[in-house]
């Protein structure tokens, strides 16, 4: 996969809505595991040493990227503090069929408290979209994650779909109250240059039954 270089956007303010469903994990301190990954990134001979990397608008932050089994891992390093600020994993979804799996990844992020609400996860999602990856939410999403996606939807083609029995059904660009709470309801974001019709054809998305 070709890495895109620094993003045009880094700080994008957003407002916290009512609590929803989890793709940005702030529920527990993951500093221990992040410290272990940081050490591996900087240990010669480690599989994580020498990963492709790019910088963010903040000169102290750098993102190391690796791909394994079709999933993409983005580790955000604070070079000044010599630690990882957090990471985002773009997961494959076992719930979709092979056709949709070629294009869709579901991001899940975890960042230490002092690095949250700075636009870092937004910048990493921007990179993924610039790289041509179509994004879709998982079955759980926090309020902060939902706000992040809504912010991105102002700049990218987006919509909602129902995921059931490995098939996607288009629900539209907006939802009726209560529909977002259903575990089968997912939001998607498309890279620049993708039209909704092209995306639906590529992943085999069906029309909603009337």
| Strand 53-55 versus strand 24-25 pairing type | unpaired
Q: Is it the case that residue 5 has pLDDT exceeding 60?
A: no
Set out the domains of the chain in order of their start, with CATH numbers.
24-203 (3.40.630)
* pLDDT tens, position by position, 72-122: 999 999 999 999 999 999 999 999 999 999 999 999 999 999 999 999 999
What tokens does 89 get? 């994993």
- What percent of the chain clears pLDDT 90, i.e. is strictly above it? 73
* pLDDT tens, position by position, 8-56: 332 322 223 323 334 555 444 455 699 999 999 999 999 999 999 999 9
Q: What is the mean pLDDT of residues 140-150?
A: 85
Averaged pLDDT score across all residues of the chain = 86
Strands (DSSP E) found in the chain: 24-25, 53-55, 61-68, 71-78, 83-91, 104-111, 134-136, 158-164, 167-172, 185-189
How much is the pTM? 0.83
| Strand 24-25 versus strand 104-111 pairing type | parallel
- Residues contacting residue 26 through CB under 8 Å, at least 6 positions apart: 110, 111, 113, 116, 142, 144
Give, in degrees to the nearest 5, the angle at Cα 47 between 128 and 191.
5
Taking the C-alpha atoms of residue 196 and residue 121, their distance in angstroms, rounded to an integer, is: 24
Contact (CB, 8 A) for 86 and 34: yes
Contact (CB, 8 A) for 89 and 138: no
* pLDDT tens, position by position, 155-180: 999 999 999 999 999 999 998 877 87
Taking the C-alpha atoms of residue 137 and residue 105, their distance in angstroms, rounded to an integer, is: 8
Q: Determine the pLDDT at residue 11.
A: 31
What tokens does 100 get? 């949709």
């Amino acid at each position: 996969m070709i890495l895109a270089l620094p993003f045009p956007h880094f700080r994008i303010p957003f407002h916290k809505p009512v609590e929803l469903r989890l793709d940005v994990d702030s529920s527990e301190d993951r500093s221990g595991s992040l410290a272990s990954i940081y050490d591996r990134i900087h240990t010669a001979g480690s599989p994580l040493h020498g990963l492709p990397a790019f910088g963010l608008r903040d000169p102290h932050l750098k993102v190391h990227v690796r791909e394994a089994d079709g999933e993409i891992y983005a580790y955000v390093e604070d070079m000044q503090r010599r630690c990882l600020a957090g990471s985002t994993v773009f997961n494959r979804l076992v719930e979709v069929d092979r056709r949709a799996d070629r294009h869709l990844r579901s991001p899940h992020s975890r960042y230490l408290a002092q690095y949250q609400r700075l636009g870092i996860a937004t910048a990493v999602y921007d990179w993924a979209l610039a790289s041509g990856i179509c994004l879709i939410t998982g079955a759980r999403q926090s309020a902060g994650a939902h706000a992040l996606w809504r912010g991105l939807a102002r700049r990218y083609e987006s919509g909602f779909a129902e995921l059931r029995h490995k098939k996607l059904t288009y629900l539209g660009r907006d939802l009726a109250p209560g529909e977002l709470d259903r575990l089968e309801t997912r939001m998607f974001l498309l890279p620049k240059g993708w039209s909704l019709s092209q995306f639906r054809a590529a992943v085999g998305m069906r029309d909603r039954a009337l």
